[in-house]
Every structure is written in C-alpha cells, then in structure tokens.
Chains A and B, each alone.
Chain A
Amino acid sequence: MQQYSVVGKPIPRVDGSLKATGEAKFTVDIALPGMLYGKILRSPYPHAKILSIDTSKAEALPGVKAVITGKDTGEVRFSFIDTPRYPADQCPLAIDKVRFIGEEVAAVAAVSEDTAQEALGLIEVEYEELPAVFDPEEAMKDGAPRIHDKITPTTTTAWEDFGVTREARPYDAVNNISNQVLITVGDAEQGFKESDHIRQNRFVIPTTSHIALEPHGALASFDSAGKLNVWLSHMGYEHKRYWLAKTLGIPISKVRVNKTYVGGAFGGKISLFPYELLAAFLSKKTGRPVKIILSRSEVLSTCHTSRRFIVDVKTGVKRDGTIMAQHIKIIDDAGAYRSSSPTALYLAHVFRHAIYNIPNVRHEGVGVYTNKLFTGPKRGHSLQQISFAVESQLDMIAEELGIDPLELRLKNLRKKGDILPNGDRLDSYGLPECLRLAAESSGWKQKWGKQPNRGMGIGTGGMFSGGHNYPFGSAAFVKLNPDGRFTLFTGQTEFGGGVDTVMAQIAAEELGLTIDDIVVVSGDSELCPYDIGNWLSGGVYVSGQAVRRAAADAKQQLLAYATEALETKIDQLEINNGRIYVKANPDKAVSLSDMYKYGIQMRGGDPILGKGYTKAVQDVGFWGGSFKGTAALSQGRGRFTDAYGLAAAIAEVEVDKETGKVKVLHIVVADDCGTDINPLNVEGQLESQAAMAIGDVLFEEVVIEEGRVINPTLGDYKIPGALDIPKLTTISVQDYEPKGPFGAKEVGETARGAVIPAIANAICNAIGGRIYSLPMTPDKILKAMKDEKG
C-alpha cells in the first residue's frame, strides 16, 4: 500500500481542545440578545379531531409574545421522503386532527421558559377522540380506523423540485398502507424447489431511541431584511434549509444554517422536525430570536425513533449449506407519519445484498400507519433489524445442517469483483478477511460450543458509502492564505464522527502539508458549498473525495505558478512541506506563501482557490423527463452505491441460567472501511457501534402502550454505561477502495448491524434456545430456556 504522511495516522481530533475545555458551542449553548423561549403544546390523544383551539388566555399572559396554531403555519406538508408517488404527509402544526400522543398542536414564544410553559397550560383545545389503532396488522384490516385521509399535495414534491418532471399524485392510504416495496432477484419459488432444507421464522424488532446526548433544539432568528439564521443540532444542512425555505415560503438563499458542534446524532437528527420550523415561524411572527430546546422526554416520545419491523424470513438451502433462495416479508410499523419508510424497506434488502450470494430473492415490505410515535433512520437504518432476523435464522440453519456457523457464512459470501443484481460492483470486498480475522481473534474454533454457560455468535453487516438519491453529492473549496496555509470549506457537519479532522487530513495529504496547516470551515450553509451531509455514511467517501479534488485543483494551480517562478517544467516539480522544489535540485524552491504573492503580483491577482466536487453514484442522474441509471426504489432497480462498507463481528457472552442475566465478555469487530484515513477515528466508530449494539440486544426499547411512550426518561430507558462494556477488539481490514479518497469508504454504521446478531446469537448459543425478538431481557431468556427444556 502507498505510504502517506498524514492519511492513515492516528491524529487526535482537531476540535479536541475546544471540546475538552468547554469552548465548543452547541446549539443549546447559543444565546442571542432579545432571545425568546419557545414551547410546544402537544396532543394528549393518539387519534382525535381538533374541534377548536382558543389561545386568547395564553396570549394575554404577560411575557407571552406569540402563540401560533395550525392556522398560522398552514397546510404546507413536509417529510423525510417526498416523492411524486409518496408525497409528504406531515404539517408543522396539526391542522384538522392529531395522529399520535405528542403531536404538535400549538406553540408559544415568551420572555422566559417558565412563562412559555405557563402559557401552554392556558391554551384551550377541544378534541373529539377517534378510535385509534396501534397494531400494524390490525391497522391493515378492512374497517380499521383510518389515520390519513387522501393526501393531495399542495405544492410540488421535493423530487420535482430536484429536477424530476413527474406530477405528484394524491396518495390514498387504503387500509393504512403508507408505502410498499417489492424487489425480486431470480426466481424465489424455483430456488425453494431446488432447496434441500427450508426454514421459516418471524422476528420482531422494537423501536429504540438514538439518545444523542445533546437534546434536539433550534435557535431561529429572522432579521428585518427577511433573512433567517438558524442554529440547529443536525447532520447536514441541505435538507434542513430546503425544507425551512419551502415551508416558510422564502428563498433558500435567505436561509443560513450556522455552524454548531452537534452533540451526537446517529440518524436521529437527519430530517426536518416541527420544532425547527416552529422556532422559525415564531421568530418571523415576533421579529425576535426564538430558541426551542426539547426536554429529554420530548425527544424520547416525539422525535422519530428507529424503525419497528416485523420480519418473516424464509430461507432455502442445499445440504452443504449453499443458500438457494430467500423470501423476506417486512411489516414496517411506521407510526403516525411515513418518514423514511419507503427508503428503509428497500435498504433492508440492499444493505445486505453485498454480503451473501443468494441467487433467488423475493423481498417484500409494507409500511403501515398506526397511531404511535413515527419512526425513522437510526445508525444503519434497517440493517440492524434485517441482520438480526437473517443472521439469527442462519445460525438455526447451521445447527440443523450440522455445519459450523462460521463455515456456513464463509461458504455463501460474495467475491471481490462481483457485479450485484442491480449493477453495483464490489471493487473492494474485505468481508471474507473480516470473518477470518474475527474468528481468529475471538478464538472461535477453540471456544465455540465448548464452554458451559457461555456462548459465541457471529454477525455480518453491509452499508453504502453514500447513496444514489439526489442531492447526494458534495463540493469543497480550498483557499491559499498569505502564510502558505490553506482554509478548507466543506459542507460536512461535525456531529462527533470526526469529519473536521478527517477532511483536514485529506486536504493536507494532497497538498503535502501537515494537519496544522489546514483550517477547516464546515457546517455553515452560507460559507460552504453544496453538501448533503454525512448521510448513508457518505461523509468520507463522497465529501472526502470532493475535498481531495479541491486540494488537487489548488495543487495544480500552485505547480503552474511554480513552473513560471522556477522556470522549470511541471513534471520536474514536487510539492511537500509547504515548498515547491525541483526534484533534481531541491534547493531550487519556492514556498506556498511565495506563490500566494506570485498569484497576486504576476497572475492578475489570483491568490489560488481550489474547487472539487463529486457525487455518490456517478452513473445515476435525472434531468427533464429522463432517468439515467436509476429507476424506482420500490422495485430496487438501478444503481445504489459505488462502494459497500462491510463488517463481521463475533461476540462471547456468559448467561446466568438462574437469573437470565447476560454478561458480554468480549466483542470482536472486523470492519472493511477501505483505507483508514484516521485509525483513532475508525476505532472510535467501531467501539461506539459495538457499545450501542449491547444496548440494542440487552435492554433498549421505547415501550409504547395505548399510544403512549411509557419510558421517556433516561432512568426508564437504559443505555449502556461504562460498566456494561466488555473488552472490545477492533480490526480494520483495509481493502483499498479504488473510487474512494485514498482508498477509503464507509465506517460509521455497518458494524452495529454485525454486532447485534453476534451478541444475539451468542446468547442463544449459550442457552441452547432461540429468542425471536429484541431486546433479550432476562425474562425472555428464562422463557426460552424453559421452552427448550420443554
């Protein structure tokens, strides 16, 4: 592998000292002169008509500056997904009725939080309760309460705004069906006929919360010239400012998303939230800045949680373990709004189609409206749900066939260079090595099935490095400063993963500088060019490539100046350590600072500005009426991603058979993220996902009863603490991805989807029984042991 001087080094993060000293400012820390505090009145009913809202008493309370209802915000709809087929279904404030407990009904801005809170209690809302439905299978039956009337778009949809010329159709959610997907590969029925052994099971995966430590919040400030400044806790500004502009009816150029540090996100801050819109509406109405910070219980009970799946898996295999066919049917219990369901259901297929070579697949999914908190993306976005189901069943099949679960997996893996059914190509594919190294490190061969009360389990995961959907791309600028250092402008948002550091490393490497020579300006929609943000783990692969190209562009400009200044041909020159020199005579040199001056003095005032850009999937595009390289997501056709991140995990656990309590002893995560741009960050991402997966398997669930979240505090919703974490071994399998910047690709999401089934399988291995749902609480473990004994 090529040797780099900045890339591949475990460089401490560039925002480390700011965060260690308390200087880093998060949205919750920002205050503006004259700032008001906003609070939101929420529905106490899961399903009810709003008959009237009387805000007069609240408005009369001293210190209250504005009260708004759906009449003020209007019937402009927004959603994470907004396509001609599936138009947006959510409004900033409920208009005619409420569809879940916690839905936004009215909002107040006042001089203090206490006053705003008091005002909420003075708003009188008259409701007429409607029958509610909470179970997705009940919701699909004829005669079930209807949650959404026919949705007729009042504006163009996002996809039309992005260039697809296809008129939005009204959406009629018959039987509460929000969306559907059907992907077929080969002939599943024929595949089952050719199988020697078929197994069918149902798995249930609950909804969990992201629990980013920083609660959701927004500060919005309209100025008298009509410009909206916002400070948000988010994962990328393009989506946020698009929707803010559209719902507020102002030009997108008049919306500035300012840089903030973001206290964790994990998919939980990706879409636009009503509180963000409401802060902006209230600021517009009052002419003053308005800040809305949600309480933890508001976050846990009103901001999207992970998607709730019921998964039926039928798999057919040959006697030797070769998988012949798989039929997957997912019921996605979407909750009150569709949010990411159409994407999630297709991702549930495509995140894993790079893992095993299954010739015949039928993948069906249906999103269903219910009167509950709606669900959305969370780290891995469907991967963890589907991985739990499929990998659990593979262990059962291995046992029935008498095959080592490791061998069963190795036997069915794809190969490097494979072209997937949709046309994606596996130019990098380190998964076999991941499995081999994880097995070696964990002592699989020596330990599996040989330790009383202990169990071992395996899991695998796959993930995109950015996706095909518009506007999935990135641009970056670099500018040379008088001292020979560069300022980098990238639209990436630093929400903990370390993008500011990694982007600086990429720019420094390309320019032959050190990381200290790069000043990063990120996450500011006014200063930075177009960038979707770190979605679908495209941060390094997509935006990193844009940064590299911006740096390369500047480098070419520098070399062009140097050919004149040094009177030497370009191919004779080298750039390194802030100098450009003649290879044969390194003393003949100019500094980058010299070239800044040269540009101004001799090149008509050009001080060197580099530009770079790319998009996640080069083969995909649409313009006018035509599509290039893509088709309907709901049929899984077209190109999805240019590089797959892959991971394998092995977990070892001990189960107390008296109490059902699990102790995780060791987790090995082997991940193929291409080149490690920063090994410290890669380890951090992998350990983070392993820790999160412990919570997923052992205790996390947002419990909803009759539409109400009954555990909306960190006391009742437990996440892993320092005492829950075992030895974590991370292995980076760096299969060079030729299309990525310096060979890098995804790292932040795959591993969670591998560790969850690894721990789950380890528990089942330890107890000799099977558990079909998460989390695997002691009562479920004891029951499974009892069932096994019969």
Chain B
Amino acid sequence: MKQLIQLTVNGELHEVRVEPWKTLLEVIRDDIGLTSPKEACSTGECSACTVLLNGKPVNSCLVLAVEAQSKDILTIEGLSQGSKLHPLQDAFIRHGAIQCGFCTPGMLLSAKALLDENPQPTEEEIREAISGNLCRCTGYNKIVEAILEVAQSQ
C-alpha cells in the first residue's frame, strides 16, 4: 500500500514510504520530523501549515505527499542560514509580530513568497498576501509593518 517517494525539503533529499492518502503536512511533521508547519484546521482555512512548494505557498494539509514528489519544499527550518536569521525572521522578532508563535511559520513563508515575487509590495498587497494566514494574537498590523520594513530595505 505504501509508496516510496522522494521529497526535497530545505535542500535535503528525503526518501519516505507513505500511504497515498497522507498529506504533505503529516509527512513533513511525522516522517521527516520538521514540526514548524502547524495543523490548526486541517481544511485549508488558516494557513498555519503553509510551506513553499517550488516557491509557491500551499496549504500542506490539502496537498497529498505523493503530489510533492520531486518538488522543492521549504519550511522555516530552512529559512535561516545557521544562526543567521532571514531578514523576515529578524523583522518579525523586532516588530513584535510574534506572540504565541503558532501562526508564525506559515506567516513567514507567505511573506517570503510575496517578496520573492513582488519585492516592493504596497501595504494593501501585503495584507492581501497574508489574508489567508490567520493570527489571533497580534492583530496583524505588526506583521504588516515587519514585512513592509523588509521590503523597503531590500
């Protein structure tokens, strides 16, 4: 029943045997052991499970692991270079854009995907880009400020 698939996660190749119905989220968390993508709804409505699939943000709870075969996957474990944080990580911390931290991994990746595609977004474009990522703690404005600062300093 299980299928052998290859996933490239944060630049590392992983071979895993998975049931065809397992989601990418489950495989990243349970088989590969990276716990930053979070499950908060399992229906694609909160985006806490966001990962970048070939550079595009996806809800990994809605993607089957077998669909990610041979694709590049980025989680925030792969965002920093050793102890050097990515500018978005650093800006989130300094701006108070993190409180409980549960939405943070998905939020950071949605922000990265935006800036990769549109390095100079307006505030409205930032809000639009993270509109699917739910956060109950911060009220979003500090997240928007953090992303805007990174965009402006690029």
Q: Which residues of A contact B (CB under 8 A)?
A: 10, 12-13, 15-22, 24-26, 28-29, 210-215, 261-266, 295-296, 495-498, 680-681, 683-684, 687-692, 713-715, 719-723, 725, 728
Report which of B46, B104, B131 forms a contact with A714, defined as CB distance below 8 A: B46
Within 8 A of A (CB), among B52-70: none
Contact partners of A211 in chain B: CB under 8 A: 134, 136
The tally of CB-CB contacts under 8 A between chains A and B is 166
Given contacts A17-B85, A264-B137, A713-B41, 4 further A-B contacts (CB under 8 A): A28-B35, A29-B35, A723-B131, A728-B139
Q: 23 interchain pairs (CB within 8 A)? A: A13-B93, A15-B101, A16-B92, A17-B85, A17-B89, A20-B93, A22-B75, A22-B76, A22-B105, A25-B35, A212-B100, A213-B46, A214-B40, A263-B102, A264-B100, A264-B136, A497-B99, A683-B96, A714-B41, A714-B43, A722-B128, A722-B133, A722-B135
* Cα distance, A680 to B97, chains bound together (Å): 10
Contact B77 A21 (CB under 8 A): yes
* Cα distance, A435 to B96, chains bound together (Å): 26
Interface string of B75-91 (1 = CB under 8 A from A): 11101100001000110
Contact A13 B136 (CB under 8 A): no
Q: Is B138 an interface residue (CB 8 A)?
A: yes
Min CB distance, B43 to chain A, in Å?
Answer: 6
Report which of B45, B93, B94, B137 forms a contact with A496, defined as CB distance below 8 A: B137
Contact B104 A715 (CB under 8 A): no
Min CB distance, B103 to chain A, in Å?
Answer: 5
Residue of B nearest to A212 (CB): B136
Min CB distance, A132 to chain B, in Å?
Answer: 29
Contact A22 B34 (CB under 8 A): yes
Q: Which residues of B contact A (CB under 8 A)?
A: 29, 34-36, 38-43, 45-46, 48, 75-77, 79-80, 85, 89-90, 92-94, 96, 98-105, 108, 126-128, 130-144
Contact partners of B45 in chain A: CB under 8 A: 713-715
Contact A12 B93 (CB under 8 A): yes
Most buried by B among A21, A497, A714: A21
Most buried by B among A15, A22, A24, A495: A22
* Cα distance, A263 to B48, chains bound together (Å): 11
Contact B89 A20 (CB under 8 A): yes
Contact A684 B41 (CB under 8 A): no
* Cα distance, A181 to B43, chains bound together (Å): 42
Contact A723 B136 (CB under 8 A): no
Contact B42 A296 (CB under 8 A): yes
Contact B127 A684 (CB under 8 A): no
Contact A213 B140 (CB under 8 A): no
A16-B98, A261-B101 as given contacts; A21 in contact with B137, CB under 8 Å: no
Contact partners of B128 in chain A: CB under 8 A: 722-723
Closest 4 CB pairs of A and B: A22-B36, A496-B100, A19-B101, A263-B102
Contact A22 B77 (CB under 8 A): yes
Contact A681 B96 (CB under 8 A): yes
* Cα distance, A265 to B101, chains bound together (Å): 12
Contact partners of A683 in chain B: CB under 8 A: 96, 142
* Cα distance, A187 to B75, chains bound together (Å): 64
* Cα distance, A586 to B71, chains bound together (Å): 63
Report which of A16, A213, A725 forms a contact with B93, defined as CB distance below 8 A: A16
Contact B98 A26 (CB under 8 A): no
Residue of A nearest to B19 (CB): A114
Min CB distance, B112 to chain A, in Å?
Answer: 12
Min CB distance, B59 to chain A, in Å?
Answer: 12
Report which of B76, B85, B93, B136 forms a contact with A692, defined as CB distance below 8 A: B136
* Cα distance, A12 to B96, chains bound together (Å): 7
Contact A687 B139 (CB under 8 A): yes
Contact B130 A722 (CB under 8 A): yes
Contact partners of A296 in chain B: CB under 8 A: 40-43
Residue of A nearest to B80 (CB): A21
Contact A20 B99 (CB under 8 A): no
Min CB distance, B15 to chain A, in Å?
Answer: 21
Most buried by B among A25, A264, A723: A264
Contact B100 A725 (CB under 8 A): no
Residue of A nearest to B26 (CB): A113
Min CB distance, A450 to chain B, in Å?
Answer: 27
Residue of B nearest to A728 (CB): B141
Contact partners of A15 in chain B: CB under 8 A: 101
Contact partners of B93 in chain A: CB under 8 A: 12-13, 16-17, 20
Contact A719 B75 (CB under 8 A): no
* Cα distance, A42 to B57, chains bound together (Å): 36
Contact A13 B43 (CB under 8 A): no
* Cα distance, A263 to B142, chains bound together (Å): 18
Report which of A22, A684, A715 forms a contact with B96, defined as CB distance below 8 A: A684
Contact partners of B38 in chain A: CB under 8 A: 26, 28, 213-214, 263
Min CB distance, B116 to chain A, in Å?
Answer: 18
Min CB distance, B146 to chain A, in Å?
Answer: 10
Contact partners of A21 in chain B: CB under 8 A: 36, 76-77, 79-80, 85, 89
Min CB distance, A598 to chain B, in Å?
Answer: 35
Most buried by B among A19, A214, A215: A19
Min CB distance, A39 to chain B, in Å?
Answer: 14
Report which of A18, A215, A261, A691 forms a contact with B100, defined as CB distance below 8 A: A261
* Cα distance, A141 to B79, chains bound together (Å): 62
A713-B41, A714-B134 as given contacts; A496 in contact with B85, CB under 8 Å: no
Residue of A nearest to B78 (CB): A22
Contact partners of A715 in chain B: CB under 8 A: 43, 45
Min CB distance, B48 to chain A, in Å?
Answer: 6
A20-B104, A22-B36, A22-B105 as given contacts; A213 in contact with B98, CB under 8 Å: no
A19-B104, A721-B132 as given contacts; A496 in contact with B99, CB under 8 Å: yes
* Cα distance, A296 to B104, chains bound together (Å): 18
* Cα distance, A10 to B96, chains bound together (Å): 9
A496-B99, A714-B41 as given contacts; A722 in contact with B105, CB under 8 Å: no
Contact partners of A495 in chain B: CB under 8 A: 100
Contact partners of A713 in chain B: CB under 8 A: 41, 43, 45
Min CB distance, B76 to chain A, in Å?
Answer: 5
A214-B40, A722-B130 as given contacts; A24 in contact with B101, CB under 8 Å: yes
